[in-house]
Structure 1
């Protein structure tokens, strides 16, 4: 028998039960350490140890909370996980190298999504525009703010036009009160402050948090738009699965 190579780094990292639980939770939302301690039901020192290994391996990133500077949010680097997983499959057999396609037909997903930040002038309207673009308008996408600004930030309009060819100049920020009583399959907060004040939209709504700092200059707006686009693209298969599950429930209803 020939020499057997060591397992790829992704496999070694993800194979540990606690690290797999952490990756699975962070695949759904950004969390603080104390929240992950509760979710995985492990001591804080053990959770912190495994988070450090995941950070060292490039699978997890951390950002300082803009709501409370003593807190930090951990978030899964989905692009890095996708490439590491592809590398792991290729290491086992060349035929396992996946052809990763991000194309979504206009027929799916038929879901309702609300993006929330504080001012509804940058992060949430960027996410709204990009999800609508990637779903071909099939998804019902809305954004709102806990303290909306009078108008979109000029860099929001510029970056979406220059990077993605989207015109949002006619968009006006709206208050969360304007969508109270509406039904959403998923509510995604993109601002740590907004996460703390976002209202409950009912038990059928899935709450998710993306901890994305408020951009302060044009370069930061470009980076923020690119990060949100990455997160939106990786959200698409999740929304498609949600849509199919809802369709199945309707078809099986007596």
Structure 2
């Protein structure tokens, strides 16, 4: 008796097309704008936009409006959703393939990681603290700003203390100029404006990654008004940090560009 025909899992359907697979691979390393993906993949913009729409409809890719140029958008791969859908696809083939594995911890210690945003009072400072915390200090994490604020935002201090048990102590924002001459294995920009002006650090082997994350302090207002945005931002950064750790000892990923 013939076995019942089973539908192809959604992830397999979405990822099987060569262009969509290239997009997924590229976005796994960094957030990108459409014109960058057009240049890197070498396909027409209308074709890239069509496949991005399918990936967005499938829940694998999200878009955020650029804080540098509001007419533009950055695309981001939802790795949590990919993990979930990959586990589902594996389970559809065999129950033993439905398990998900925790990302490995880097060993030996990789080259230092630099996080950059504009003010170094929120996003990059949160990323620095979380990477150091997640790796028990095995990874040297540093952050700086292109136009640093005088002090850490109170909600940065609060969210790290209340949500993760991290005490920033007397940490103050740092200017990128203070790191002139340093070399980093990975440079992560978390601000669209900072990405446009971030100088070169390291050499051709330095991995450059962009995370398009809105400034949680942009709306202003009292702490009780802004704290939910800081908590959401810290959660997103922590998720990205978890996936970043797994890549720190691997070769530079495709699509890592300015």
TM over 0.5: yes
Q: Which deviates more, 127-136 or 198-207?
A: 198-207
2:55, 2:112 → 1: CA distance? 33
1:242, 1:131 → 2: CA distance? 19
Q: Could you give the per-residue CA deviations for residues 93-114 of structure 1, whole angstroms, max 9, x where no partner exists?
A: 0011224224637x54432100
Structure 1: which 5+ residue stretches go unaligned?
Answer: 244-254
Q: Which deviates more, 73-82 or 109-118?
A: 109-118
1:239 equivalent in structure 2: 248
2:94 equivalent in structure 1: 93
1:162, 1:178 → 2: CA distance? 30
Secondary structure of the equivalent of 1:11?
helix
1:80 equivalent in structure 2: 81
2:92, 2:109 → 1: CA distance? 33
1:3 equivalent in structure 2: 4
2:114 equivalent in structure 1: 114
1:161, 1:15 → 2: CA distance? 43
Change (3 A) 1:117 1:150: same
1:160 equivalent in structure 2: 160
Q: Which has the higher helix share?
A: 1
Secondary structure of the equivalent of 1:75?
strand
Q: Could you give the per-residue CA deviations for residues 11-70 of structure 1, whole angstroms, max 9, x where no partner exists?
A: 000000000000000001100001111111100000000000000000000000000000
Structure 2: which 5+ residue stretches go unaligned?
Answer: 218-225, 253-258
1:225 equivalent in structure 2: 234
1:250 equivalent in structure 2: none
2:208, 2:139 → 1: CA distance? 17
Change (3 A) 1:158 1:25: same
Secondary structure of the equivalent of 2:170?
coil
Correspondence 1:115-154 to 2 at 5 A = 115-154=115-154
Change (3 A) 1:152 1:182: same
Q: Could you give the per-residue CA deviations for residues 162-221 of structure 1, whole angstroms, max 9, x where no partner exists?
A: 110100132111000011110100000000000000001122211110000000311100
1:109, 1:81 → 2: CA distance? 27
Check if 1:172 corresponds to 2:150.
Answer: no
Q: Is the 8 A contact 1:108 1:135 kept in 2?
A: no
Aligned residues: 242
1:240, 1:94 → 2: CA distance? 30
RMSD: 1.4
